[in-house]
Amino acid sequence: MRLKVASKQSRKKTSKTKTQRKKSNTTKQNNIRESGIVQDEIILVITLVVSILLFLSNFDLGGKVGKFFSDITFGLIGVLSYILPFAIFFLTAFYISNLGNRKAGKKILSTVVFLVVLCAFIQLISKQYDANMKIFEYYTESKEYRRGGGIIGGILVMIFCGLFDTVATYIIFIAMMFISLTVITGKAFFTNIAKKGNHAYKERKEYQKLVREQQLAYEAEHPMEIPVRRPPKTFLFNTGRKMKAENEANAENEANAAKEGKTEDNTVVNINDLRQKKGSAQNADKLPDLNLDHLFPKSEDKQFEGTSGSGITDVESGSIPTYEDELR
């Protein structure tokens, strides 16, 4: 009995200790979470303040310190200094909200690559590549005139334009930015276009199938309204010996059919037969020339010619009477 009571008491103690440990662990975890949340909140507030100060310094509203940092950012990345404050804040917030996520890290890295390549692209657009230009000149020019892509863009332009031509460098930069955007968005542009095209093709096929089924159903319900279709004709273009052999075979078949008193509908038409029929029809339309000279004797023609000629000469030789002579 004593042993049983002791075992029960020991079990109660162990259960109590386990529950106490669980409670302590949960409280510790809660404290860690709360401290982490507070820490993240502090980091976000600091990044927000820094971003606002950088943005104001780009417009000469940050004093001497703001002007100093503005000159540095313009010398490094050029025109992208106007985008840098927003990029810092949003990337920090995205990283804090996705701690431990590998995809988030890839997206942040691809965003940085996109911005760096964009610096080089802007530098290449703003000023043509000059092989004699030094690296530090990119920094001073972007800092003083606030244009271009800064020293980072200048380094990339020097590397790629030195290895490739300017046109090839444009193509490489565009391809790199396109790849980084694909990683950021997680959507493939060309595959989406192919899927949409395939989907539209399937819809078109289904629509054609539905129209065909409706047409067949209508024809089954209204058989009298279906138009009668003539059988198709085939034209054969044969010349030479084949044409002669086919003409002889057709003549024999026609003769046999005439003897038997049967007629067949020929759906195969020879183009040479059509030409022969057309030529015979044109010859039949032409009227023969008729000679009617044998109906009129030559003697009468001569007499007529003599009388007509004498009358004309008399009229020509005699004088024409006047009106007074006729009154007399």
Q: How far apart are CA 70 and CA 53, in angstroms?
A: 10
Does residue 326 have a pLDDT over 70?
A: no
CB 120 within 8 A of CB 153: yes
Helix axes 63-77, 2-57, angle to 10 degrees: 90
Residue type for position 71: D
Does residue 158 have a pLDDT over 70?
A: yes
Point out the least confidently predicted range of 64-78, 89-103, 206-220, 245-259.
245-259
* Residue with token string 């540095």: 72
pLDDT tens, 176-223? 999 999 888 887 777 777 777 777 878 888 888 888 888 888 777 777
Does residue 73 have a pLDDT over 70?
A: yes
pLDDT tens, 287-325? 555 566 666 555 544 444 544 444 444 444 456 666 666
pLDDT at 312: 46
pTM: 0.53
**The 3-state secondary structure of 254-317, one letter per residue:** HHHHHHHCCCCCCCEEEHHHHHHHHHHHHHHHCCCCCCCHHHCCHHHHHHHHHHHHHHHHHHHH
pLDDT at 13: 56
Q: Mean of the per-residue pLDDT values for the chain?
A: 75
- Number of other CB atoms surrounding residue 124 within 10 Å: 22
Token pair in block for residue 163: 């290895």
CB 178 within 8 A of CB 190: no
Does residue 155 have a pLDDT over 80?
A: yes
Counts for the chain of helices (H) and strands (E), in that order:
12, 2
Q: How far apart are CA 133 and CA 11, in angstroms?
A: 83
pLDDT at 226: 65
